[in-house]
Amino acid sequence: MSPQDQLTIPEIKTSPIPPALLEEIETFEAEALRTMAGEVSIDLFKPFRLQYGIYGQRQPGVQMVRIKIPFGGISANQLRRVAELADRHATAVGHVTTRQDIQLHFVELKDVPTIMRGLAEVGLTTREACANTVRNVTACHLAGVCQGEVFDVTPYAKTIAYHLLRNPLNQSLPRKFKIALSGCKQDCALTPIHDVGLLAAKRADGTIGFRMVAGGGLGSAPRMAQVLREFTPMEELLPSIEAVIKVFDTLGNRKNRNKARMKFVIEKLGFDEFKRRWEAAYESMGYARPSHEPIALLTHADEPTPLIMPTRNGSGPSSLNGNGAGHGIGHETPFEMWKRTNVVKQKQPGYVTAAIKLFMGDLTSEQMLCVADLAERYANGNIRTTINQNMVIRWIPESQIESLYGELSTQGLSDPGAELVEDIIACPGTDTCGLGITSSKGLARALAEVFPAGRVPEDLSDVSVKISGCHNSCAQHHISTIGLHGVGKRLGEHVAPHYELHLGGQVDGTPKIGQMTVKLPAKAVPAALSHLVTVYRRDRLPKENLSAFVARAGKNKLKDELIPYTIVPAYKDDPTFYYDWEGEAEFILEDLGPGECAGGALEMIENGILEADQELYQAKLLVENHQYSVSVNKSYRAVLAAAKAMLVTEGLEPSTDSETFIEFDSRIAQKGIIPAQYRELNKKVGDLGPKDTTAESAREKMAFAKGFVDACRAATEQMGKDLKLAPTQEAAAPVKEVAAAAPVAPAAPAPTGAPVYDLRGVACPLNYVKTKLKLEMMDAGEKLEVWLDAGEPIKNVPMSLKNDGHLVLLQEALEPEAAHYRVLVEKVEG
């Protein structure tokens, strides 16, 4: 049934597009036409396109259009226009994001200007929803109706958003910049993970303002924001934000995208120096406190609908008493369950807010029309998107809530559990995102059996589950109680989809980044999380929630519990582990771009430590089953795996056990990187003992192996992407340098005069690690000629060296068939 058959669609009210905005859209259209005609390269068009909020997709030839929704506020009229455009030019589906935007996917470039005009006619834009600009300004979806708020932050969020939109100050920042506002201590907008976070505050004399934090962010290097101003008066709000942006614009890293966010500026300067720079920027921009004029707020019409019928004031079957109108969860009707989980009382008597749970943020154009219609008939025509990828309708008379539920049910919009643990957050992942590694949406659907909607027990009521398809944390997995992000792991000739499990993240109370606990194959994640919940219920203290349990139990205990779920069978034994959730073909790692050698080396190290953990797990099982001699062998293999992992930092991949122990002793142990008791490993673990090993001997070997693996883990956890290991004690006498390979004169190309480092035959990422170590022994300005194989080596190593800050002066083939290349690199002091 079409939307037209089911709903009488009101005419969409439009306004003429202001000339300046029309010119902006026409400029985009002209460049898009030139690109489609081949007059402008796709690479040249890309940054221009991103500035306008248009992303390329994983699928070639189509775009994702991101519609900016400041503070999540959208009217019924605007939502109808989005539905119309989704129907005509996209897939008839909209996606609500964790920044309260709405995205349309699979849009042809030729249709993008039409969408821009349609949005502009109803006061919406895609401008600066992407690119190195100030992204959408977010705020709590209950702002203005929350019972615990200090004041309504809505007009301040709107004022900030439109003040910075198209502002020359932030059109070409080093990287994206995010702002969020919360009205109460619950901090629903998650201010600590933003570049600027604003939390409503009130002084003793009643003056309102904001507690301002700066420098938060997630991604591959998550950081929590720090307090910049305990109290920011309203007249100083915009200048304070502008000054932060100015410092970021001036000092942000524009050479290395991976180090470009503002959190890295703070990390480099130190927060005290950053604050000093901010104060200087504030003064230099012409702001002299306290002579600012009052802030000119943009208003947002959000008046209540009249209460036609008297409310029951908490009595009778329609009351919102939080437990299903007096019934236990097991005896609830579908409506009672939905009301318990999806409806909250407003601070205004007689009114409630109803959350519409959107599965992973998706809703069809028909559902958009339904939501728009219901918002006008039951409330005041205003809707808000949430950072948990849902929509809410506010100002609903409490007496009308059951009727609203009935109408939502007809459109498949009455699922319970909105904003709770069962409301799993997932980014688009490999469905559409070009950076996605795994199918985060597929895993979210699989986890629906672990966390069934509306039936999750009370002891998990404050738990959150978030899934990102890569390390970029678009689903904010770092701050979730249970967070997962997708990676690939090569096992022999095949690659299996995996997820890194992060536990214990939170932003309310004391903000905390979740700890990366273990790497799980995608197919084992539901079983692993079920076991995690079982362990929690088995070992928890009275009234202890999951977050507190995770903190008390600690990473190592939980890792030990989950190690059995990390084991992946061989492809011939169970090929399903090598398929992603809902995948129809064997999992492969898409080409996500060169220059990630350091990440590859870190992954080799992580995988080596995980292998050691798995060997220790088997050793423990074997001891418990009285197979002592085999257990000793597993303890030995654990030591060997951890030692090999450590040697990756030296660019080594020894082929024999003996070579591994010799190199480990000279390059790692003798430098004091691990405790002295782990020197001369071959003498201590090489003897596997007699066939009739005793239980005591097996346990001693296992204890030694576990101590060694833990020491290696501790050393690598302190290591950054520079792959440098720090000594844990006074280092021993300097280790004799291993002689480098003798320079070999190039056959065909002209000599560069630099020493040659022949790494032909050395695979990624060890070729990069070896080059990195060689450069560390050289002085700034010296040059090194590196010989590399064609394929991944020549593609990845030069880019990784550039990312490290070195200069790549030459890159050319060594022979006509281009099987090998040489790269001339000049060391730059870090």
Q: Which residues, in sequence order, are CB contacts of 480 under 8 Å at separation 6+? A: 425, 464, 465, 466, 502, 505, 514
The angle formed by the CA atoms of residues 513, 515 and 518, to the nearest 5 degrees, is: 150
Cβ 285 vs Cβ 239: under 8 Å = yes
d(CA 645, CA 639): 10
Taking the alpha carbons at both ends of the chain, their separation in whole angstroms is 64
d(CA 432, CA 106): 8
- Of 301, 293, 208, the residue nearest 199 (C-alpha): 208
DSSP H or E run through 788: strand 783-789
User: How is residue 347 written in tokens?
Assistant: 């601070």
d(CA 724, CA 6): 64
Helix 271-284 with 262-269: angle, nearest 10 deg: 110
- Of 61, 63, 70, 60, the residue nearest 48 (C-alpha): 63
User: How is residue 582 written in tokens?
Assistant: 């809902």
User: How is residue 628 written in tokens?
Assistant: 């002592």
Q: What is the dihedral of CA 339, 455, 509, 177, to 10 degrees?
A: -80
Query: Within 10 A of 87 (CB to CB), how many other CB atoms are there?
Result: 18
Q: Where does 533-581 show beta strands of DSSP type E?
A: none
Q: β-strand 482-491 against 465-468: which pairing, if any?
A: parallel
Annotate 717-782 with DSSP letters as a single string.
Answer: HT--TT-PPPPSS---SPPPPPPPPPP---SSSPP-SSPEEE-TTPPTTHHHHHHHHHHHTS-TT-
DSSP H or E run through 462: none
Catalytic residue check, 470: no
d(CA 2, CA 366): 8
Q: Which residues, in sequence order, are CB contacts of 395 under 8 Å at separation 6+? A: 145, 302, 303, 304, 305, 346, 348, 351, 353, 379, 380, 382
Kindly report whether the peptide bond that precedes residue 765 is cis, defined as omega within 30 degrees of 0: yes
Give the number of residues written for the chain: 830
Q: What is the DSSP letter of 448?
A: G
User: How is residue 622 written in tokens?
Assistant: 């074997």
Burial class (CB in 10 A: 0-12, 13-18, 19+), 486: buried
Annotate 242-293 with DSSP letters as a single string.
Answer: HHHHHHHHHHS-SS-GGG-SHHHHHHHH-HHHHHHHHHHHHHHTT--TT-PP
Tokens 């678009």 correspond to what residue?
474
Annotated catalytic residue, options 370, 470, 597, 764: 764
- Of 543, 420, 427, 565, the residue nearest 481 (C-alpha): 420
Query: Within 10 A of 319 (CB to CB), how many other CB atoms are there?
Result: 16
DSSP H or E run through 787: strand 783-789
What residues pair up with 194 in beta bridges, in sequence order? Answer: none
Enzyme catalytic residues = 764
